[in-house]
Amino acid sequence: MTVPVPRESIAPLSTSRRRALTGLAATAAAGLGFPALAQTRAVRVGATFDNSSVEKANGQGLYQGSSAFFNALNKAGGINGTKVELVIADDTFKPEVAKANALAFEKDSSVLALVHPLGTRQTAAVMDAVPGIAVVGPITGTISLRKKVSPNTFWVRANYDQEVDKLVSTAIVLGQSRIGLVHSDDPLGQSVLGAFKNALVKAKLEPAVIATTPNTTSMEVGPAADAIAKAKPQVIVVGLAGTAPVFLKALREAGNSSSAYGLSITASALAAMGDLARGLGFVIVVPSPYSTKYEIVRRYQADMVASGVKEFSLTSLEGYMNAAVLAEGMRRAGGSLTRASVMSGLASIENFDLGGVKINYGRTNREGGQFVDVAVIGSRGQMLS
């Protein structure tokens, strides 16, 4: 199973195949407790993400996963007979556009919640702009955002401290003690840097090298690659997202052969890395999309295929899980679906089994997920975990 390349269009299924898979999708959604009732009304969920710029692959993956979940949910009757519509807006990975999109969603009274804003600065803009609307599953692990008092924001993925801890401990188990870091010089990168330093302190190690790129989207990676090549660490933690392929190419061209470990945000760039991805270790904050020992993965695969998407990815699985958490909050909201009742429903989620992954919020807790693991890209381009 090779790392998938997100597609902008999917060939339609045959009529007979679609009918067969509709049954599977309805069964999967019903398994989450959503009764198959006649649909008489509709509510909307908004999503702002990059659909045309550097993080386009991530944005499209998130949309594929969340729309597959809502498609299955609606086929099974929705939320007590209420259909859920997913409405998307392209923010081109710009915080100010993400904020404008969120404010536009706020003006639409039928939009009850927002799902998976993409990016650190984008998430910060969205969560502050619409305090009266639940924001579920932001795609960032930045610690500073989680320390803010934001009752409307419900985190599903683990944070960057947990991710970096996992990578550093993995390196140490493998006998690698000279560990370096490359990160962007922006809020995302500062969060990763702080996590890296804390992890090394706990391990009683000193950084082998720390290098920076100008920002999350900058392709000026040459100086960072040269600095790391000169230091020759045993392993380099790559705290970059869409620019990771350019950095790794520059690093190898600079003559460096250090092992590379990426954060979860690196996963969207795997396809663009080609052969450079082989041997790359990286954090996953959801199970492998091929690991059918997890019930959530089995449901995800069935619903993706029913929606016409045959390729699976970490990003689309994360989008699917975010949508499932939001739907559980909506189900718990009771008979009257409002922005306030949805937020209350989400806050009531404690020790909820999503299908092999536990989600735990509460009156004050908003960090629901703790899942973190490490995967490796094999010699044939397959994901191993």
pLDDT class of 3 with cuts at 50, 70, 90: very low
Q: Is the pLDDT of residue 150 over 50?
A: yes
93 in Cβ contact with 54 (< 8 Å): yes
More confident residue, 12 or 189: 189
Show the tokens assigned to 146.
């989680």
pLDDT at 8: 32
Tens-digit pLDDT profile for residues 43-80: 999 999 999 998 898 899 999 999 999 999 999 999 98
pLDDT class of 163 with cuts at 50, 70, 90: very high
Average pLDDT over residues 288-317: 96
The proportion of the chain whose per-residue pLDDT surpasses 90, expressed as a percent, equals: 76
Question: In this structure, how many other beta carbons lie within 10 angstroms of the beta carbon of residue 250?
Answer: 20
Cα–Cα distance between 181 and 211 in angstroms, integer? Answer: 6
Q: pTM of the predicted model, to two decimals?
A: 0.82
Show the tokens assigned to 68.
């597959």
Closest CA to 285 of 371, 384, 367, 191: 371
51 in Cβ contact with 66 (< 8 Å): no
**CA 108 to chain CA centroid, nearest Å:** 26
pLDDT at 270: 77
Domains of the chain listed by start with CATH number: 15-157+289-370 (3.40.50.2300), 160-284 (3.40.50.2300)
Cα–Cα distance between 376 and 143 in angstroms, integer? Answer: 25
pLDDT at 366: 96
Residues, the chain: 385
pLDDT at 33: 42
Average pLDDT of the chain is: 88
Q: Is the pLDDT of residue 249 over 60?
A: yes
Average pLDDT over residues 95-101: 98
Q: Is the pLDDT of residue 35 over 60?
A: no
Vertex 313 angle, CA 23 and 356, to 5°:
65
Closest CA to 287 of 203, 178, 195, 370: 370
pLDDT class of 269 with cuts at 50, 70, 90: confident
More confident residue, 22 or 254: 254
Euclidean distance between the first and final Cα of the chain, in Å? 12
Q: Is the pLDDT of residue 23 over 70?
A: no
pLDDT at 278: 87
Q: Is the pLDDT of residue 210 over 60?
A: yes
Average pLDDT over residues 218-226: 96
Strands of 126-268 (E only): list them. 134-136, 153-154, 179-184, 209-213, 235-239, 259-262
Cα distances (angstroms) measured from residue 46 to each of 3, 32, 228, 353:
28, 22, 41, 25
In our burial notation (b when 16+ CB lie closer than 10 A, e otherwise), range 316-334 reads bbbbbbbbbbbbbbbbbbe
CA torsion 272-278-283-285 (nearest 10°) is: 60
What sign does the dihedral 62-118-76-325 (CA atoms) show?
positive
pLDDT at 48: 98
Q: Is the pLDDT of residue 331 over 70?
A: yes
Vertex 42 angle, CA 341 and 22, to 5°:
115
In our burial notation (b when 16+ CB lie closer than 10 A, e otherwise), range 27-37 reads ebbbebebeee
Q: What angle do the packed helices 314-332 and 295-306 form, to 10 degrees?
A: 100
pLDDT at 54: 82
pLDDT class of 333 with cuts at 50, 70, 90: very high
More confident residue, 297 or 17: 297
HSE (CB half, 13 Å, CA atoms) of 306? 28
Q: Is the pLDDT of residue 283 over 80?
A: yes
46 in Cβ contact with 62 (< 8 Å): no
Cα–Cα distance between 71 and 60 in angstroms, integer? Answer: 16
pLDDT at 47: 98
Cα–Cα distance between 78 and 85 in angstroms, integer? Answer: 10
Cα–Cα distance between 291 and 104 in angstroms, integer? Answer: 38
Cα–Cα distance between 337 and 334 in angstroms, integer? Answer: 7
pLDDT class of 85 with cuts at 50, 70, 90: very high
Average pLDDT over residues 260-273: 83
